Amino acid sequence: MSEPASTAATTTYREALREALRDALRADERVFLMGEDVGRYGGSFGVSRGLLDEFGPERIRDAPLSESAFVGAGVGAALGDLRPIVEVMTVNFSMLALDQIVNTAASLSHMSGGQFHVPLVVRMTTGGGRQLAAQHSHSLEAWYAHVPGLRVLAPATIDDARWMLGAALDDPDPVIIFEHGSLYGMEGEPWEESPVRPIDLEHAVVRRAGRDVTLIASSQSVHVALAAAEVLVADGVEAEVVDLRVLRPLDGATIVESVTRTHRAVVVDEGWRSVGLSAEVSARIMEGAFYELDAPVERVCTLEVPLPYPKHLEDAALPQPQRVVDAVHAMGLGG
């Protein structure tokens, strides 16, 4: 049997994800996990370790190296009233499955006049910071967040890692969950038991309250923003940190509500700056809070290069807390 994670002193984001899978597999016979190396290897990032022994090869299925094929199989299984959870090793590899996700999973409900839903959950690893270079490190969440018919989730905390999956499976339409590779090992307090149901898959949340500037982020960038907020305390700046959580549909109301209080915003996004999530968030602020702005919206994003392999170059390319601090200073706060 597994360790009783919920009673441990600390747990990890990875264990929270595993427990969510275990929970889902136990709760519904129709749920199964499929992907490259999810079975015997225990998942490329160790998320599904031990699940093969517990649930057997029918429900923990190693897939051949063809994202198009096994995501497509997941779409078919979902149409056949199963509840597939498909793991794609990294979002970079999911490009090979874009056709299945965008043209099929996201579109069928619309094209069939609501007759055919695709209750598919696709989990994929995203993000850099682990020296895995340009083909394993990118943050392409914005590409999926662009597509109507999908719900896109980005758990940044152990609680969200634990509870978002179950709620995603309850959604009759396809859901993409982005797990950040740098967060798997994140330790923290065990998740809260018996959360309020249904789990909120609609709203952003304020992770840290502040009055001077709003830092808007998702996934690993939430932690970059929180670290920057700590540094800014010394400058007398109280930064509010908003965790988007749900990248589609984007919770513009929470963003606007926060900026209406702080009058300044910095969007922190590990995606590239051009035509990305940060641009969308910035546009929502212009649309909803233009007359509240006391400074132009700033963005701290990954530099516009394929992510480099050497650590110092990768660090230089990714959003770091200091860049967020600098952006806040440039708005005339602190510094």
Partner 1 sequence: MGDLRMPTLGADMTAGTLLEWHVAPGDAVHRGDIVATVDTDKAEIDIETFDDGVVDALVVEPGTRVPVGTVLATLRADGEVPRMAAPVAPEPAVAVPAPPPPAPSAAPVVSAPPVAAAAPAHRRRVSPLARRVAADLGVDLAAVTGTGPAGAITRVDVERATTTVPGTTVPGTTVPGRAAVERRSADERLASLRAAVAALMARSKREIPHYTVQRTIDLTAALDWLDAYNAGQPPARRLLPAALLLRAVALAAHDVPEVNGTYEDDTFHPAPDVTLGVAISLRQGGVIAPAIPNADALALPDLMSDLRELTARARRGVLRGTDLGGATLTVTSLGDQGADLVCGVIFPPQVALVGFGRIAERPVAVNGMLGARRTVIATLAGDHRVSDGHRGSLLLASLDHHLQEPDAL
271 binds partner 1 (CB under 8 A): no
- Check residue 331 for interaction with partner 1 (CB under 8 A): yes
Residue 235 interacting with partner 1 (CB under 8 A): yes
110 in catalytic set: no
Which range, of 17-25, 63-71, 79-87, 290-298, touches partner 1 by CB under 8 A?
290-298
Among 295, 303, 313, 320, which residue sits at the site for partner 1 (rule: CB under 8 A)? 295
Exactly one of 15, 36, 87, 136 is catalytic; name it.
Answer: 136
Q: Identify which of residues 69 and 293 has a Cβ nearer to partner 1 in the complex.
A: 293
CA 261 centroid distance within chain? 26
Q: Which is nearer to partner 1, 28 or 326 (CB)?
A: 326
Stretch 183-222 residues interacting with partner 1 (CB under 8 A): 211-212
* Residue that has been written with the tokens 């597939």 in this structure: 84
Stretch touching partner 1 by CB under 8 A, among 11-19, 38-46, 292-300, 319-327: 292-300
Residue 334 found at the interface with partner 1 (CB under 8 A): yes
Please state the closest distance from residue 294 (CB atom) to partner 1, in A: 4
67 in active site: yes
With binding defined as CB under 8 A, does residue 291 bind partner 1? yes
Is there binding between residue 279 and partner 1 (CB under 8 A)? no
d(CA 93, CA 74): 16
The DSSP line for 161-193 is HHHHHHHHHHSSS-EEEEEETTTTT-EESPPPS
Strand partners for 300:
268
Q: Are 18 and 123 in contact (CB under 8 A)?
A: no
Placement of tokens 């597999």 in the chain = 25
Here the tokens at position 13 are: 């984001």
Rounded CA separation 148/144 (Å): 9
Q: Which of 198, 236, 306, 310 binds partner 1 (CB under 8 A)?
A: 236
Residues 282, 252 contacting (CB under 8 angstroms): no
Name the nearest CA neighbour of 102 among 134, 140, 52. 140
For position 319 contacting partner 1 by CB under 8 A, the verdict is: no
Stretch that binds partner 1, among 32-40, 147-155, 191-199, 289-297 (CB under 8 A): 289-297
Site residue total, partner 1 (CB under 8 A): 18
293 binding partner 1? (CB under 8 A) = yes
Peptide bond into 198 cis (omega under 30): yes
Distance CA 18, CA 98 (A): 25
Q: Smallest distance, Å, CB 300 to partner 1?
A: 12
Q: Count Cβ atoms within 10 A of the Cβ of residue 46 and give its class: 0-12 exposed, 13-18 middle, 19 or more buried.
A: middle
Q: Does 148 engage in binding with partner 1 (CB under 8 A)? A: no
Q: How far apart are CA 29 and CA 25, in angstroms?
A: 7
Q: Which is nearer to partner 1, 21 or 237 (CB)?
A: 237
Can you tell me which of 1, 81, 194, 290 binds partner 1, judged by CB under 8 A?
Answer: 290
Q: With binding defined as CB under 8 A, does residue 297 bind partner 1?
A: no
For the residues of 186-251, what is the DSSP string, one character each? -EESPPPSS--SS---S--EEEE--SSEEEEE-THHHHHHHHHHHHHHTTT--EEEEE--EEETT-
What does the alpha-carbon distance between residue 69 and residue 305 come to, in Å, rounded to a whole number?
30
The residue from 67, 141, 179, 270 that is catalytic is 67
Among 95, 188, 263, 303, binds partner 1 (CB under 8 A): 263
Query: Minimal distance in Å, beta carbon 246 to partner 1?
Result: 28
Residue 237, interface with partner 1 (CB under 8 A)?
yes
Active site residues: 67, 136
Residues making contact with partner 1 (CB under 8 A): 211-212, 235-237, 263, 290-295, 330-335
